[in-house]
Structure 1
């Protein structure tokens, strides 16, 4: 989504106020709170279902 909208990760940090540690969690598919998802959706004008990708455990 960021690529399509030509938004850099650093810009997203500024838009949302999330920390770089939280961004690192997003990059490594770790758990983030619903509050973070809400901030991302508000900044990007999307729905929560637009963000996650389900990766089945193996």
Structure 2
């Protein structure tokens, strides 16, 4: 893990997704930037991720 202290607790958790679900993981560098609010960045990331799962 980048930027995490070796002394930091890193608990694990099991997560079960529905068959048609997707887990999208992004970093702050993807959703934040100059002139871009966190809310807008998250919305944009969600829109882009949703397009990847559209089936025609």
Same fold (TM over 0.5): no
> What's the TM-score, normalizing by structure 1?
0.28
Larger RCO, structure (CA 8 Å, separation 6 or more): 1
Q: Which has the larger radius of gyration?
A: 2
